[in-house]
């Protein structure tokens, strides 16, 4: 089949940065620009608004000088304004070559915000387009509030499009600025426009205020638009933009006539990195990239998966560089436990499995979270069988914290029966503890995993307000795992989680 190609424009670095409380540093913007274009393989990126700040100028300069070397400059876009050419000067200073010019797509915005007539607005735009051409800057044009324009001032929108489609413009960008469209409206408006102007290129830019971002993008694509705007993790103003990962999966699975260049297997990695840079957490149930979305919790699902993959759908985790997991908790049952035991290479007889299941149910009732890596401890505790031999013990430690001096630690650790001691300083008590451990592992020439995430919480409703849970994510030469520690002291709970890690590697 000859597939229709749709351009993907990622605007995480511009509209995504308009998420309240989010700001990327220069080096974060450069890292993400490289990842988006070269690894995720989106077609274009919108990286900044003109005139925002000195920091923004620096970020754009770094990205454009890298993009120039790679011959990607035509794929790097800047939001500019109808401001008599000030944005254009900024763009030139920043080394950028493609502007996305923000103009008015509804009579309401034009009349009440710019207080201009359509003719005056078109006149201002013509002047900008003329200047852009002289400076060698390519132009795409946004029709801000276009969706409300189509609802309430269609005549204006078509008057504007009649003018714009005759101008030196590469693409016309149609935003549902306030995220108000339904999928039927999106479909109707886009098909009307692409039929009326068959020689022009139209992008759809969807927002998610009614949680319809993904379905509206899908309808826009079906109706014939040529490009779509997305952000990683659906970041953006208010409820955000249409999220990259979900839209890519929807297009690949439900629109076989469409081709996009995005590399599915990088979606999760990029999502994690954006979350780390922004501190904007990914909801655990967010499709494709959320922590829980490939985890089966109900025992009946794990049982069905073992029989004939009965609970699989086309969203196989491996497509996105992820793995299916089987949760352990009060609803998980024996089948889930068996799946986790298999992964750990452990076997239990029926009686043992029953006892371990019972303990996991009890822990679930107390709202305690149990992970695969907790299983050996639970087994050893419940069965007291000696099957599980703890090989590393944190025997003793001194943690100091004093005003004006760096925190320091002395640690004694027993590894395979041998006692090792080290001391170290750090930025905090736990950091000092980890530095001391690293010294021991270096002397022993043993691998020491990288800590990739550290989260502390008070387990809710556990009747243990004094308890603190630390959940640490580790990466051991590409193998990722999580350990937990529970204690009334936060540092001690982290040390307990770390001792578990030492027994897993
Ligand atoms: C700034 C504009 C282009 C925008 O993001 C929107 O209208 O949604």
- Is 14 catalytic? The answer is yes
Q: Which ligand 1 atom is at minimum distance from the Cα of 15? A: 5
Task: Name the closest-CA residue to atom 6, ligand 1.
Answer: 177
pLDDT of residue 149: 98
Segment-wise mean pLDDT, segments of 10 residues, the chain, 505 residues: 94 96 94 98 98 94 98 98 97 98 97 96 98 98 98 98 98 98 98 98 98 98 98 97 98 98 97 93 95 84 77 91 87 83 84 87 76 78 64 92 90 93 94 95 89 81 64 86 83 92 85
Backbone angles phi, psi at 400, to 5 degrees: -115, 145
Q: Which residue has the tokens 């008057």?
A: 159
* Residue with CA nearest ligand 1 atom 5: 15
Q: How do residues 148-196 score in pLDDT, each as one tens digit?
A: 999 999 999 999 999 999 999 999 999 999 999 999 999 999 999 999 9
CB burial of residue 494 (10 Å; 0-12, 13-18, 19+): buried
In ligand 1, which atom is closest to the CA atom of 11?
5
Which residue's CA is minimally distant from atom 4 of ligand 1? Answer: 177
Are 152 and 183 in contact by the 8 Å Cβ rule? The answer is no
Helix (H/G/I), strand (E/B), else coil: 295: strand
Whole-angstrom distance, CA of residue 423 vs CA of residue 445: 17
On whether the pTM is more than 0.80, the answer is yes
> Do the beta carbons of residue 42 and residue 262 sit within 8 Å?
yes
The 10 Å CB-count burial string (b at 16+, else e) for 173-204 is: bbbbbebbbebebbbebbbebbeebeebbbbb
Going from the Cα of 385 to the center of ligand 1, the distance in angstroms, rounded, reads: 63
Determine the residue of 9, 14, 49, 79 to mutate for testing ligand 1's pocket, defined as the one with the most ligand atoms within 8 A of the Cβ atom. Answer: 79
> How far, in Å, from the CA of 10 to the mean position of ligand 1?
13
């Amino acid at each position: 089949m000859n597939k229709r190609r749709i351009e993907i424009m990622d605007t995480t670095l511009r509209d995504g940065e308009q998420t309240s409380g989010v700001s990327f540093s220069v080096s974060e913007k450069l890292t993400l620009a490289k990842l988006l274009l070269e690894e995720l393989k989106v077609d274009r990126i919108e990286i900044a608004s003109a005139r925002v700040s000195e920091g923004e100028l620096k970020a754009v300069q770094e990205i454009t000088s890298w993009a120039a070397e790679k011959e990607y400059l035509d794929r790097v876009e800047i939001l500019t304004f109808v401001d008599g050419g000030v944005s254009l000067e900024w763009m030139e200073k920043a080394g950028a070559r493609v502007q996305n010019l923000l103009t008015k797509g509804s009579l309401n915005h034009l009349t009440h915000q710019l207080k201009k007539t359509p003719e005056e607005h078109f006149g201002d735009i013509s002047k900008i387009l003329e200047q852009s051409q002289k400076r060698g800057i390519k132009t795409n044009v946004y029709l801000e509030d276009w969706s409300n324009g189509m609802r309430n001032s269609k005549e204006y929108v078509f008057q504007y499009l009649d003018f714009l489609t005759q101008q030196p413009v590469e693409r016309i960008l149609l935003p549902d600025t306030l995220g108000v469209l339904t999928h039927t409206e999106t479909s109707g408006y886009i098909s009307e426009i692409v039929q009326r102007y068959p020689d022009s290129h139209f992008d759809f830019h969807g927002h998610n205020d009614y949680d319809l971002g993904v379905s509206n993008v899908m309808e826009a694509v079906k109706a014939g638009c040529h490009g779509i705007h997305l952000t990683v993790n659906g970041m953006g103003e208010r409820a955000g933009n249409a999220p990259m990962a979900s839209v890519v999966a929807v297009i690949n699975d439900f629109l076989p006539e469409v081709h996009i260049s995005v590399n599915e297997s990088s979606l999760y990695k990029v999502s994690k990195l954006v979350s780390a840079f922004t501190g904007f957490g990914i909801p655990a149930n967010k499709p494709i990239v959320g922590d829980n979305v490939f985890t089966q919790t109900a025992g009946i699902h794990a049982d069905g998966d073992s029989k004939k993959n009965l609970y699989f759908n086309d969203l196989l985790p491996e497509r996105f560089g992820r793995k299916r997991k089987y949760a352990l908790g009060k609803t998980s049952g024996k089948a889930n436990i068996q799946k986790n035991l298999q992964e750990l290479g452990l076997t239990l007889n029926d009686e043992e499995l029953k006892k371990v299941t019972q303990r996991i149910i009890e822990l679930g009732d107390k709202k305690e979270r149990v992970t695969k890596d907790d299983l050996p401890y639970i087994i050893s505790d419940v069965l007291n069988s000696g099957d599980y031999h703890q090989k590393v013990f944190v025997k003793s430690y001194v943690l100091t914290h004093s005003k004006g001096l760096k925190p320091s630690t002395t640690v004694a650790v027993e590894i395979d029966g041998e006692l090792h001691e080290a001391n170290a300083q750090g930025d905090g008590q736990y950091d000092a503890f980890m530095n001391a451990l690293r010294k021991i592992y270096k002397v022993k020439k043993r691998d020491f995993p990288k800590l990739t995430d550290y989260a502390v919480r008070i387990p809710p409703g556990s009747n243990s307000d004094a308890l603190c849970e630390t959940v640490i994510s580790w990466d051991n030469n590409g193998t990722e795992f999580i350990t937990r520690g529970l204690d009334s002291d936060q540092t001690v709970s982290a040390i307990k989680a770390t001792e578990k890690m030492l027994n897993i590697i």
